[in-house]
Amino acid sequence: MQKDIKEVLFSAEQIAAKVKELGAAITRDYQENPPVLVGILKGAVPFVADLMRAIDLPLAYDLMAVSSYGAATRSSGTVRFLKDLDMSIEDREVLIVEDIVDTGLTLKYLTESLKNRGVNSIKTCTLLDKPSRRRAEIQPDYNGFVIPDVFVVGYGLDYNEKYRNLPYIGVLHEEVYKGEESNSL
């Protein structure tokens, strides 16, 4: 698996430090009304788990599954709900926790959809932001790292359901996915 990684962008230690920093900011900002964390499956699971332990507030959390990628390396722009929330978020402060914001289409769609559920407020937190690919006007309220336009895996992020278990975030060698994409065309 290591041979498929071109370079490590962020080590496990760098990620842990950034999650701690984000947790402190969220703790400070939500002292009066702790938010419901809404984690986006599957990629954000490690981030949500670590982030909620870094937030010193009584929290509730739930998970949603949406898809805009399928097995591709670029967002299709079409968002599909695969799993909705199990709890009501009406009259609550909501913090969407996402692994990466790429085109911004998924996060914009989610934000608008959840606003329609009668929430008090809605903010977003992402570990990675790739603004060079933005197609929707959206800016995360809390952001870990800004990254260039490269395909990253690890710490929950995948390619074709692989590499999620890497403890760091790395750039995937292009030949790993270019060969598979040409085979599927």
Point out the residues that are catalytic: 102
Residues in the chain: 185
Cα 157 to Cα 170: distance, rounded to the nearest angstrom: 10
Name which of 69, 48, 68, 44 is nearest 59 in CA terms: 48
- Other beta carbons within 10 Å of 140: 20
Give Cα 19 to chain centroid, integer Å: 13
For residue 60, CA distances in Å to 7, 36, 39 come to: 36, 5, 11
Cα 75 to Cα 68: distance, rounded to the nearest angstrom: 5
For residue 37, CA distances in Å to 9, 93, 114, 182, 184 come to: 26, 9, 12, 38, 37
